[in-house]
């Protein structure tokens, strides 16, 4: 993990946003693994024996020159696909698969081997066959490949590490850079943390879509900032990775496929089978080549492919299904045909992982929600992880002391990276906040009537053009007698929290009391309102920029006792996740009999540095993303 452990502190009030960042070499960190195999897929030129059938060999590339030599044997039992058909190699490593125009053929890396990577550490395991190339597209698409080649051979290098049952697999969602300045922010933020780690050489990094933000010419810059990775990099496509001027979904990922690889594929590591799906279906360009919108669904071709792909996977394996859009989140069923996907996965030991929403969620089997039932998912059958975002809330908000936007996400979580820790066919998950160690998993706050009143007014003022004087916040950790007469809570935003978690609060060393999970996943409707908000993150976004939610999958609250004496009190909060891991933070707050004291115009400066800046946050850059499009 990153050696940087700078706690959240505030930049000097009034600090202007950085005018521009030059993209230089990747941030310093652990050197890339020398064990990675640099190479490429071997395309044997010449006429195919049958123009309707692609043939080739999956072979052990002993000398790692990406060319099958006479002494290099084929590897039996390896899966190869054209995105429709799934075949396995024979005893000599040979395969044949039906060919059609505009297909991407790919190999499923078996455990115990590693596919080659290019100079940017991008995994090389596919070949695009597009005889005429893409239609005219702004960002190029796929160049014409000409007729079907004589053969396409997939080289693999032996790698015992990829067969080990223990694996660390980082999943970085929504890097989503719209400008070179944002590329720099990503490079120096969560990406720098990844480059400094040395624990994922065999599994590699999965970028979970919205890797760039509409401007596909930024892909070379994106590759550059990840090129110091300790392991291979694979990418899923997102709705901001598409050719918006494509006439339909068939060519919406042409530039992505040329730059990166297939829109969907699979690979094995340890005792897990990882499936990457494309669940963004493009509607086709509007007049002038503008974004025509999309649906979140897994198309019929992919579902058929997935069924065929899983038919080759032993049922003892863990199946990790990753796609840009989550299948569900705490608000709704996100992927329209979620039930059809769950039908394919039924009976499997599986976990689904998504990004897209710029939130962090941990939803467990057996969880139920009123909105899910209405969307055809009466009960969650598999764990659903929503992976947060490298960009956080689209690089919004004030700048921290390192010049990076705070970018609190709408659920209060911060920019970072999710890691799946595989142990045989079991898994655990951890989320690492940008620049922090794994033990920072809690944000504490006070949700009192005076804060809720301010929040509603501040949102209206901020989003209404900032006309007139801004509403006065006062002391966000001060509770008046009037507040205690209403509903006032201590809040704990437990980033890794789930329905299997427990949060306990001890005030001034007294007996611990169990806090209430505001969205317990027990069949209830969504809990939505300022009383379900995380004041710590919401305050900072309301003072600058960024989305503010009033619902949260991982917020706990405890009523502040109405008989607390006036003065400063200390709350110790201990959160335990469903794996039994404990995290503890403390919060100081003040009770006063004077209502006017809550009308002060500055924030307190005596809160723990781990939990809050000491001064009001400076204004940050405007959010460039269309929030509704995520």
**366: helix, coil or strand?**
coil
Apex 199 CA angle, 193 and 200, nearest 5 = 90
Q: Where are the beta strands (DSSP E) in 9-91?
A: 42-44, 53-60, 79-81, 86-88
CB contact at 8 A, 54 and 63: no
Looking at residue 604, its pLDDT comes to 34
Rounded to whole angstroms, the Cα distance separating 231 from 210 reads 21
What is the dihedral sign for C-alpha 174, 177, 178, 182? positive
Q: How far is CA 426 from CA 109, 166, 297, 350, 518, in A?
A: 20, 10, 27, 9, 28
**Is pLDDT at 23 greater than 50 in this prediction?**
no
Rounded to whole angstroms, the Cα distance separating 48 from 607 reads 70
Q: List domains and CATH numbers for the chain.
A: 442-609 (2.60.40.10)
**Is pLDDT at 302 greater than 80 in this prediction?**
yes
Q: Which two tokens stand for residue 536?
A: 């710590």
Looking at residue 630, its pLDDT comes to 52
**Is pLDDT at 231 greater than 80 in this prediction?**
yes
**DSSP 8-state symbol, 343:** H
The DSSP line for 491-558 is EEEETT--TT-EEEEEETT---EEPEESS--BSPPP--SGGGS-HHHHHHHHHSSS---S--TTEEEE
**Is pLDDT at 537 greater than 60 in this prediction?**
yes
Per-residue pLDDT of 238-251, as tens digits, reads 999 999 999 999 99
Looking at residue 594, its pLDDT comes to 65
The DSSP line for 102-125 is TEEEEE-BPTTEE--B-TT-BB--
Torsion of CA 9, 544, 407, 10, to 10 degrees: -10
**Is pLDDT at 24 greater than 60 in this prediction?**
no
Per-residue pLDDT of 59-68, as tens digits, reads 999 999 999 9
Q: Which two tokens stand for residue 358?
A: 């710029």
Neighbours of 52 (CB within 10 A): 9
CB contact at 8 A, 397 and 406: yes
Rounded to whole angstroms, the Cα distance separating 71 from 59 reads 10
**What's the number of CA atoms in the CB half-sphere (13 Å) around residue 76?**
3
CB contact at 8 A, 418 and 385: yes
Look at 14-18, 25-29, 67-71 and tell me which has the smallest mean pLDDT. 14-18
Those residues whose C-beta lies under 8 Å from the C-beta of residue 433, and which sit 6 or more positions away, are 413, 414, 415, 416, 440, 495
Looking at residue 22, its pLDDT comes to 40
Select from 76, 145, 83 the least CA-distant residue to 113: 76
The model's confidence at residue 485, banded by pLDDT at 50, 70 and 90, is: confident
Distance of CA 591 to the CA centre of its chain: 39
The residue written with tokens 């009034």 in the block is 14
**42: helix, coil or strand?**
strand
Rounded to whole angstroms, the Cα distance separating 541 from 434 reads 17
Rounded to whole angstroms, the Cα distance separating 357 from 73 reads 46
Rounded to whole angstroms, the Cα distance separating 100 from 82 reads 9
């Amino acid at each position: 993990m990153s050696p940087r452990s700078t706690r959240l502190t505030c930049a000097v009030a009034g600090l202007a946003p950085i005018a521009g960042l030059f993209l230089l070499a990747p941030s310093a960190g652990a050197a890339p693994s020398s064990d990675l195999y640099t190479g490429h897929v071997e395309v044997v030129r010449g006429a195919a024996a049958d123009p309707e059938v692609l043939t080739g060999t999956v072979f052990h590339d002993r000398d790692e020159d990406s060319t099958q030599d006479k002494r290099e044997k084929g590897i039996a039992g390896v899966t190869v696909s054209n995105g429709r058909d799934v075949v396995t190699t024979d005893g000599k490593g040979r395969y044949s698969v039906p060919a059609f125009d505009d297909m991407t053929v790919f190999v499923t890396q078996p455990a115990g081997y590693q596919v080659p990577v290019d100079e940017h550490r991008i995994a090389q395991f596919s070949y695009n066959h597009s005889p005429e190339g893409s239609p005219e597209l702004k960002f190029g698409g796929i160049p014409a490949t000409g007729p079907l080649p004589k053969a396409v051979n997939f080289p693999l290098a032996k790698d015992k590490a990829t067969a080990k049952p223990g694996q660390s697999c980082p999943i970085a969602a929504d890097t989503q850079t719209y400008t070179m300045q944002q590329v720099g922010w990503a490079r120096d933020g969560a990406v720098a943390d990844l480059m400094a780690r040395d624990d994922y050489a065999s599994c590699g990094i999965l970028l979970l879509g919205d890797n760039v933000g509409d401007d596909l010419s930024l892909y070379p810059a994106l590759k550059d900032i990840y090129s110091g990775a300790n392991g291979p990099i694979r990418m899923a496509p997102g709705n901001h990775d598409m050719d918006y001027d494509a006439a339909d979904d068939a060519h919406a990922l042409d530039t992505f496929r040329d730059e990166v690889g297939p829109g969907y594929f699979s690979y094995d590591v340890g005792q897990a089978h990882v499936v990457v799906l494309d669940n963004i279906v493009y509607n086709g360009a509007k007049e002038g080549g503008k974004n025509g919108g999309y649906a979140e669904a897994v198309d019929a071709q992919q579902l058929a492919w997935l069924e065929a792909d899983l038919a080759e996977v032993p049922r003892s394996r863990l199946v990790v299904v990753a796609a840009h859009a989550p299948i569900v989140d705490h608000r709704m069923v996100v992927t329209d045909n979620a039930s059809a996907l769950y039908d394919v996965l039924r009976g499997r030991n599986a976990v689904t992982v998504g990004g897209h929403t710029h939130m962090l969620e941990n939803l467990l089997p057996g969880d139920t929600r009123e909105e899910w039932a209405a969307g055809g998912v009466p009960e969650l059958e598999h764990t659903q992880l929503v992976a947060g975002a490298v960009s956080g809330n689209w690089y919004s908000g004030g700048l921290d002391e390192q010049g990076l936007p705070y970018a609190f996400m709408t659920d209060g979580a911060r920019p970072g990276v999710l890691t799946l820790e595989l142990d045989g066919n079991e898994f655990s998950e951890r989320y690492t906040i940008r620049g922090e160690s794994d033990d920072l998993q809690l944000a504490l706050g006070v949700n009192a009537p005076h804060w809720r009143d301010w929040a509603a007014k501040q949102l209206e003022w901020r989003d209404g053009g900032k006309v007139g004087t801004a509403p006065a916040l006062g002391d966000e950790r001060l509770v008046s007698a009037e507040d205690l007469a209403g509903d006032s809570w201590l809040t704990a935003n437990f980033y890794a929290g789930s329905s299997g978690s427990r949060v306990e609060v001890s005030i001034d060393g007294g007996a611990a009391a169990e806090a209430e999970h505001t969205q317990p996943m027990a069949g209830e409707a969504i809990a939505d309102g300022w009383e379900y908000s995380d004041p710590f993150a919401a305050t900072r976004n309301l003072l600058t920029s960024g989305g503010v939610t009033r619902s949260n999958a991982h917020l706990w609250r405890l009523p502040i006792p109405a008989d607390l004496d006036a003065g400063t009190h200390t709350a110790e909060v201990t959160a335990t996740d469903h794996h039994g891991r404990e995290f503890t933070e403390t919060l100081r707050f003040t009770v006063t009999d004077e209502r006017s004291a809550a009308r002060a115009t500055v924030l307190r400066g005596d809160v723990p540095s781990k939990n809050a800046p000491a001064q009001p946050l400076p204004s940050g850059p405007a959010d460039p993303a269309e929030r509704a499009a995520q």
